Amino acid sequence: MTDYVIDVRDLRKSFGALKVVEGLSLQVARGEICGFLGANGSGKTTTIRMLCGLLAPDGGSGTCIGYDILRQAHDIRRQVGYMTQRFSLYEDLTVNENLDFVARVYEMPNRRAAVRDILGRMGLMNRREQLAGQLSGGWKQRLALAACVLHEPKLLLLDEPTAGVDAKARREFWDLIHDMAVEGLTTLVSTHYMDEAERCKRIVYLAQGRIVVQGAASMVVEKSGLIAYEGTGGDVDRAAVALRHTPGVEAAAVFGRALRIASLDRAGLERAIAEQGGGLAWREVEPRLDDVFIHMLSVQEAKP
């Protein structure tokens, strides 16, 4: 047994000539909420599928919930919860019927009591007789989460679970994740939402199947070396258009009456402000995680 719920080294996976995951090593501790970030095609989903036993690695080694990922994939599948972006339960069954079906699949003893308990924990009791297909996006995701944790898994793998869900439902979903982390459930979650990434204890950024950087969100921002300035005033949109095409500026984004620009080049930013600042009032600010994310995407896109 390992001290980590996930402990894998040098994972590799290719589809034909396309190398999707190349030399990925990852450790995740019990009760940790670890966020997976990266552009589409960076290898997040493929990695998650290898970890949960649905996809065999081409190479590498390690364990997931104590089982060998190469030889004991069946045992892993029985003890993880895996939630995909697409809703995968039966829309013509009720909430209660879907959960009862999942309980039967896992051959759970006292399945009715288990279903009743998860309905209460997930706030689904008043919707138990509603058809799954009639639920809103937020309630569908809550039902999907209930189905994933019904059998009390040791590890929860979430692949962009809140895509297309409104802000309130996303916050409530994450509150449930943190509640379960207190009870010891380990979670690995891929997301494109920076506010969600900031709720993770640790974030792992993937590019071209490799881990580029990992750590607490604040540490990742600090290590990026990015410089950011914010300008406020009247015509921020016009200034943004000019600054996006000015050497030394990597990104320029408008937030209401404020314009944020970021780059690794402090002198370039200051020169750009002096030449194209549009009469705005400028001040240096701390870079944010989304600034770092955009920067990393730009770096990867620039590579051949």
More confident residue, 297 or 30: 30
For the question of whether the overall pTM of this predicted structure is more than 0.75, the answer is: yes
Q: Which residue has the tokens 């589809």?
A: 15
pLDDT for the residue 244: 92
| Residue-range definition of the domain harbouring residue 138 | 83-152
pLDDT in tens, 123-172: 999 999 999 999 998 999 999 999 999 999 999 999 998 887 888 888 99
The C-alpha atoms of residue 101 and residue 134 are separated, in whole angstroms, by: 18
The domain boundary, picked from 178, 194, 223, lies at 223
pLDDT for the residue 1: 44
**Pair of tokens at residue 13:** 């996976």
Q: Same structural domain for residues 74 and 108?
A: no
Q: Same structural domain for residues 183 and 164?
A: yes
pLDDT in tens, 41-97: 899 999 999 999 999 999 999 999 999 999 999 999 999 999 988 888 999 999 999
pLDDT for the residue 86: 85
The domain boundary, picked from 152, 167, 200, lies at 152
Helix, strand, coil % (nearest 5) of the chain? 40, 30, 35
Q: What does the mean pLDDT of the chain come to?
A: 92
**Mean pLDDT of the 36-43 span:** 90
Is residue 75 in some structural domain? Answer: yes
**Mean pLDDT of the 193-205 span:** 92
User: What number of other Cβ atoms are within 10 A of residue 108's Cβ?
Assistant: 17
Question: How many domains is the chain built from?
Answer: 3
Q: Same structural domain for residues 66 and 95?
A: no
Q: Note whether 148 and 83 are within 8 A (CB).
A: yes
